[in-house]
Structure 1
Amino acid sequence: MFYKPGVTDHGLPHDPFKACVIPRPIGWISTKSPSGVNNLAPYSQFNNLTFDPPYVMFSANQTVNNTRKDTVRNVEATGHFVWNLATYALRDAVNKSAQQLPYGVDEFAHANLTPEQASLVKCDMVRESPVKFECEYHSTLRLPGNPPMGTVDVVIGRVVGVHIDDRVLNEEGLLDVHRTEPIARCGYYQYTVVREVFDMVIPGMDEDVLYGLEGSVKRNRERFEKGKEAEGGGE
């Protein structure tokens, strides 16, 4: 089959676009309003962007009333947000926090979650989540779309603090998905949980390239300093 989105009919009972891009990690984003009220919402259009320094992004479509999401309003007003890992154990709370409640309603209380003050940014984290990123707002890229929900705000933040529960680290010092059981969004109303992993190392790849795939800040800084020394030695 072939169709042009928004131009020709795909002929299916449900739109397949989002179901083609799976699984999508969930940006469970907590913010605080300028008046100090907590907000929490999941965004399935979320990912990391780079690692040194680390940046993440999430994108929030307009509401059905053609207004901006509360999360975007809070981030832009306060300059801070937290990403909380959405796990299988917390799936019901994630789903509850997705409800579009009136602005100013505390989703932590609505989803029966415990707010925990972040160390560096001025908003709360989900205490029950095993991994949290404290983020400082960087910028918003606003992509135009068809009303009421087509326009999207792509919000970018710099990760300035990382919290990892020691219980989800294995004996090798790796973040163990068997212990975190992260959930991800699939198509339609489907989700998945990650419980199985396998390794694949690119064959013939130089170690100085592999560290970038790992996301090693330490190795990246060492490589930079080594390059500076090489440049100085050639003068």
Structure 2
Amino acid sequence: MKYVALSLISLLALPMVCTPHPTPFFPSFPYHPSTPLAAILYYSAVLNMLIAIGFKLRVGCTLLMKDQKAGTIPLLSYILFFPFHIPTILYTYIHTVLGVGHGVNYADEVLPDFWVGGRYAHKIPQSQKPPERWEVTVDLTSEFPEMSIGETSVYVNAPVWDGTPPTIANIDLCASAISSGWRGSRGNGGKSGGAVMVHCAHGRGRSCLIACAGIVKSGKAKDWRE
């Protein structure tokens, strides 16, 4: 919904920066991109509406060109999709800062060596981190670069729009990686394993779903209810 709102805000701002120029094609909406600012507002409205449609249809998660192996987002993505990136970065940062101010952690250890968090999970205090590097990091964002890529042995990116569920294939991919690498798993083939971090943007939706799947896949629970 927030990207629908961004699109509408961009359209509503047009009368503030445009002089009405009625045309036979759009007589009921006489505001046209005659200035750079107006063009940016139009572009923002169209782009964020298309992304909102992608959210609804659960398609286009790779639109932002995130490298699923390196966890990076190229500069070109930030240039092309700046009307999406800028408010998303600001919203997530402010939301996280406010949450931390109210006692919400960047990430939480829900089971021994099993962590669930948000986009800033890499900021958990060093004293709370496992002594070794993360054995597995599962990143469920399509909109943010991975900040712990240098501290993890196995990186899995299953890009999903914020607020939408992963596909069955991605759930299985992530759960299998957790089962193979988590120290607490019964399914890692006798390996010692290590600590696992599962994160999305806010640590509430996508990451919790995958955490449940990983715990069940690892044999530590019979189903998601347990």
Q: TM-score per shorter chain, which class?
A: under 0.3
Q: Which has the higher contact order (CA 8 A, sep 6+)?
A: 1
Q: TM-score, normalised to structure 1's length?
A: 0.19
Q: Give the helix-richer structure, 1 or 2.
A: 2
Q: TM-score, normalised to structure 2's length?
A: 0.20
